[in-house]
Amino acid sequence: MDQSTRMLRTLGVLVLSMTGTASLLGWADPGATLPSAVIPPADLIQMAQGAAAGDAATGGVGVRADHWNTIELVAGRSNAGGDRLLLAATGSQPAHFTLDDFGRCSRSDLWLLQRDSSAGTGAIRVEIAQNTPEEPMSAAQWTSVRALVGALQSVVSDQSLEVVVDATWALAYGVVAGDPVAIDSIPVSLP
């Protein structure tokens, strides 16, 4: 057997073993995230509803129902380059909740401790990951927004909280920045 044949055979075995090992590790990884098309809407709804419940069991102080009067929807930074869930405090202004590119909802300490964001008193700030402010929500994000708004309205009070779209996003949805909007009137892009 000449040297070039031996080298090609060795490289072939090396490539097969590395590919097999990588496939096995990828299959066995318990922390792998699912792409947005695979996350069922029921799971997105459950995540959003769970995020809205801030109580002592999760280190919070309980919901101050009389304090909140507005839900502010703002465009946030996209995490399309990574698979990790965004933390709600990563934006330019702190947010109470963040929805990532896949529609997964996370809450910050602002919500658990029932503190105002820098956006204003009584405003629950929800940051939704977008590549650009003009980009509309994905279907998964829309599912989470509706579930989160519904859960917040039931947790905070019996009356509806006003939903306000931030100025950086208002143009994309054809609404006036700062004016209350009906959650069902916001258009959705389907993937």
pLDDT in tens, 93-126: 688 899 988 888 988 888 888 888 765 678 888 9
- Number of CB atoms found within 10 A of residue 71's CB: 25
- pTM (two decimals): 0.66
- 3-state DSSP of 21-80: HHHHHHHHCCCCCCCCCCCCHHHHHHHHHHHHCCCHHHCCCCCCCCCCCEEEEEEEECCC
Q: Where are the domains of the chain?
A: 61-185
Run of H or E residues at 99: strand 97-99
The pLDDT value recorded for residue 145 is 86
The pLDDT value recorded for residue 159 is 60
Q: Taking the domain 61-185, which CATH number applies?
A: 3.40.80
Name residues of the chain where pLDDT drops below 70.
29-38, 54-62, 79-93, 118-120, 133-134, 157-160, 167-191
Give the residues across from 70 on adjacent strands.
123, 162
The pLDDT value recorded for residue 191 is 34
Give the residues across from 72 on adjacent strands.
125, 164
The pLDDT value recorded for residue 121 is 75
The pLDDT value recorded for residue 12 is 94
The pLDDT value recorded for residue 31 is 60
Residue with tokens 């069991």: 57
- 3-state DSSP of 114-180: CCCECCECCEEEEEEEECCCCCCCCHHHHHHHHHHHHHHHHHHCCCCCEEEECHHHHHHHCCCCCCE
The pLDDT value recorded for residue 76 is 82
Cα 27-30-33 angle, rounded to 5 deg:
85
